[in-house]
Amino acid sequence: MYQFSSGFELLELTKKYNIPISEVVINYEHEMTGDSKDTLIEKMASNLDVMKKSVERGLKEDVKSVGGFIGGDAKRLYDKIINNFTISGETVSKAVASAVAVSEVNAAMGKIVAAPTAGSSGVIPGALITIARKFGKSDDELIKSLFTSSGVGIIIAKNATLSGAEGGCQAEVGSASAMAAAALVELMGGSPEEALNASSFAIMNLLGLVCDPVAGLVEVPCVTRNAIGAANALICADLALSGMRSIIPFDDVVSAMDSVGKAMPCALKETAEGGLAKTATGIKLKMNMRE
């Protein structure tokens, strides 16, 4: 039996069978759906394929969003990376540019994988594809790490929420960042405990983040929040891999996210009734949109 509902149970399973998180999650899905492991790997491979294409497209094309607030910034940042002009260095900047790329493709009605949502779809591909490339990891390893991400996402979905309308942006970009951080740790050979430490840090750092989309669109500030989600995943994975432990265990961090989300006023949960959406400029942009 590979069913789990909490980080604690997930870690127990990795210990019991002496396998990484990704293996537990593949077995969980196999048990639940009856699909063979090869079928599941294949399904995830096609998700990875969509992720890679969305990164490529966003980095190369000058995409324009439907709402017209964003677009082309991933390409501009990528040009700076090529010319060695970024402050945060090649690795972080590439992860950020790739996350922005997917986010822009999403806003331009392109094809993406909701991971876990469309609004946060840049974080996981941005962080994972960049780091896999840097360290020469194979697609097989990358696909496995996406199962690790999903395992973390399942726990958050069960004990809190992945929806901005229910929990604010912390539930979308915060969760995506936690999912990416755990996957990065496993990809780099860290232990399951280290993976969940990384996820804990990722959520802690974005705890309380509100969802306040300007004019109600998945554009501003979603794109730059995808950037911070990816960079945050890299930082948290490094902290965990160097042995830093989260004194608040992962399950408690998730429950904190749940209670913070519930305490958050509705105006700050995707309704575009607060935050950046309700600034003087935000209101003006919304009025222009409705014309």
Binding mask 26-45 for other proteins (x = CB under 8 A): --xx--xx------x--xx-
Query: Rule CB under 8 A: is residue 113 a binding residue for other proteins?
Result: yes
Give me 106's structure tokens: 């999403």
Q: Check if the beta carbon of residue 203 is closer than 8 Å to that of residue 257.
A: yes
Query: Rule CB under 8 A: is residue 149 a binding residue for other proteins?
Result: yes
12 Cβ partners below 8 Å, 6+ apart? 4
Quick one: which segment of 12-20, 113-121, 132-140, 192-200 binds other proteins (CB under 8 A)?
Answer: 113-121
3 state DSSP class of 211: strand
Query: In this complex, which beta carbon is closest to other proteins, that of residue 86 or of residue 151?
Result: 151
- Could you give the angle at the alpha carbon of 256 between the alpha carbons of 253 and 261, nearest 5°? 130
Residue type, 277: A
Query: Rule CB under 8 A: is residue 287 a binding residue for other proteins?
Result: no
Exactly one of 2, 147, 201, 250 binds other proteins (CB under 8 A); that residue is 147
86 Cβ partners below 8 Å, 6+ apart? 77, 80, 92, 93
Give the shortest CB-115-to-other proteins separation in angstroms: 6
128 Cβ partners below 8 Å, 6+ apart? 142, 145, 146, 149, 180, 183, 184, 187
Query: Rule CB under 8 A: is residue 2 a binding residue for other proteins?
Result: no
Q: How many residues bind to other proteins according to rule CB under 8 A?
A: 53
Query: Rule CB under 8 A: is residue 250 a binding residue for other proteins?
Result: no
Query: In this complex, which beta carbon is closest to other proteins, that of residue 283 or of residue 289?
Result: 289
Give the shortest CB-89-to-other proteins separation in angstroms: 28
Quick one: which segment of 7-15, 88-96, 115-123, 134-142 binds other proteins (CB under 8 A)?
Answer: 115-123
Query: Rule CB under 8 A: is residue 289 a binding residue for other proteins?
Result: yes
Give me 136's structure tokens: 């020469």
**Cα 236 from Cα 184, distance rounded (Å):** 9
Task: Kindly report whether the peptide bond that precedes residue 221 is cis, defined as omega within 30 degrees of 0.
Answer: yes
3 state DSSP class of 269: strand
**Cα 203 from Cα 156, distance rounded (Å):** 10
Query: Rule CB under 8 A: is residue 216 a binding residue for other proteins?
Result: yes
Query: Rule CB under 8 A: is residue 118 a binding residue for other proteins?
Result: yes
Binding site for other proteins (CB under 8 A): 5, 25, 28-29, 32-33, 40, 43-44, 46-47, 50, 65-67, 105-119, 121, 124, 146-147, 149-151, 153-154, 157-159, 162-163, 165, 179, 215-219, 289-290
